[in-house]
Amino acid sequence: MLLLLLNGCSSVGYYSQLASGQWQLLRAREPVSSVIADPNRDQKLRAHLAQSQKARSFASQQLHLPDNQSYRLYADIGRPYVVWNVFVTPEFSLKPQNHCFPVAGCVAYRGYYSQSAARGEAALQRLQGMDVSIGGVEAYSTLGWFSDPIISSMMGWGDERLATLIFHELAHQRVYVKDDTEFNESFATFVEQEGTRQWRAYRSLPPDNGKQAQQRDQFIQLVLDTRARLEKLYALPLPPEQMRQRKAAEFERLRVEYRHLRDNQWAGDKGYDAWINAPLNNARLLPFGLYDQWVPAFSALFKQMGGDWVRFYAQVERVGALPVEERKAALKVLVESSISGA
């Protein structure tokens, strides 16, 4: 069945590693309740999982997310990420290589269950002159086809971060629009953010001060501004060497602007130093904006529905069913309403 879900145009080797990786993940699952009840298991793990189940119940009972076995199972995979995604673009373009699958639709990356396999694919793409980036992923959703487990790769972020991951991934099971990554990820990000706010209130915790979120938004905006400048640059009829020089100058400008922001507004917080100091190329910019573009639209829609999750999901499904251009137009109207306060 897994093979039937995958793209027939992909190589047999790629088919095989996807099927094998998913099968191994399914075989590693065990009930969270069994892990919690086992005194021989790591006490910290048991406590962490016990907290996760409170968030899992809240997700279904209060956020009206799917009530199934997903995230009521646990899988120890013995590695820091469940998959590694390979992003690829041409040297002078921000258009990604898309890969399409019958169920998930088209996405801007290829996923590998082995880091070495991801590196091998990246090396082959670089030999063809492409810009390449590899990103590790802690969790993913099978969109309800399987009971997704809490994976050991999700366990290093603390109780609240694990709760947000559960909210995000269950949101993908609740609503998913084929071939529209921006819509799907922005929707899940909104559910994650609003769900976390309500989860904190439910536990009588004070609201998050928003410092990290503000820094994240400012950093993302720097990257998006760089993308916009690069798109204009790549549209110019320049010879390759001159294009490379101006491309490098734009990435250096990003670094300079980041350091100015860090030192003057963030009190020297170096949270994004590792990312900014690593080699930069087009492919590394691809994930930015995918998870945030339409969050204001979904926030506005949630307010219009009076904070009623059931009505909200129904409206999200309605917007998602529109033809792509009508869908984007509807989301833009919602963004404008959020700006105007209407």
pLDDT (tens digit, 9 = 90+) per residue, 252-291? 999 999 999 999 999 999 999 999 999 999 999 998 877 7
Nearest to 286 by CA among 223, 212, 243: 223
pLDDT tens per residue across span 189-218: 999 999 999 999 999 998 877 788 889 889
CB 249 within 8 A of CB 310: no
DSSP secondary structure string for all residues of 194-244 = HHHHHHHHHTTPPPP--HHHHHHHHHHHHHHHHHHHHHHHHTS---HHHHH
Instruction: Tell me the CA distances in angstroms from 260 to 126, 226, 269, one per residue in order.
Output: 32, 15, 11
> What is the dihedral angle through the alpha carbons of 226, 227, 231, 236, rounded to the nearest 10 degrees?
30
Q: Degrees (nearest 5) of the Cα angle 154, 288, 327?
A: 105
The whole-number pLDDT of residue 6 equals 42
pLDDT tens per residue across span 65-123: 999 999 999 999 999 999 999 999 999 999 998 887 766 678 888 999 999 999 999 99
The whole-number pLDDT of residue 294 equals 93
The whole-number pLDDT of residue 102 equals 64
DSSP-derived 3-state class of residue 10: coil
**What phi, psi does 307 have (nearest 5°)?**
75, 15
**What phi, psi does 212 have (nearest 5°)?**
-65, -40
- Alpha carbon 323 to chain centroid distance? 24
- So where are the chain's domains? 2-82+138-202, 295-340
pLDDT tens per residue across span 95-105: 998 887 766 67
Nearest to 261 by CA among 220, 230, 233, 231: 220
What is the b/e burial string over 254-265, where b = at least 16 CB atoms within 10 angstroms of the residue's CB?
beeebeebbeee
> What is the dihedral angle through the alpha carbons of 175, 178, 180, 183, rounded to the nearest 10 degrees?
-10
User: Across the beta sheet with 150-151, what order do the strands follow?
Assistant: 29-31, 73-75, 150-151
pLDDT above 90 coverage of the chain, percent: 77
> What is the dihedral angle through the alpha carbons of 51, 57, 61, 63, rounded to the nearest 10 degrees?
60
The whole-number pLDDT of residue 208 equals 79
Burial class (CB in 10 A: 0-12, 13-18, 19+), 128: exposed
Q: E strands along the chain, which residues?
A: 29-31, 73-75, 83-89, 99-101, 105-107, 110-112, 131-137, 150-151
pLDDT tens per residue across span 136-179: 999 888 888 899 999 999 988 889 999 999 999 999 999 999 88
CB 134 within 8 A of CB 122: yes
Helix (H) or strand (E) run with residue 181 in it? helix 181-202
Give the Cα separation of 187 and 197 in Å (integer): 15
Give the Cα separation of 154 and 73 in Å (integer): 13
**Selected residue with higher pLDDT from 5 and 228:** 228
pLDDT tens per residue across span 232-257: 999 999 999 999 999 999 999 999 99
- Alpha carbon 8 to chain centroid distance? 25
Q: What is the average pLDDT score of the chain?
A: 92
The model's pTM is 0.86
DSSP secondary structure string for all residues of 276-298 = HHS---HHHHTTTTTTTTTHHHH
CB 113 within 8 A of CB 18: yes
| Banded pLDDT at 307 (limits 50, 70, 90) | very high
Give the Cα separation of 29 and 50 in Å (integer): 16
Instruction: Classify the C-alpha dihedral 114-118-271-299 as positive or negative.
Output: negative
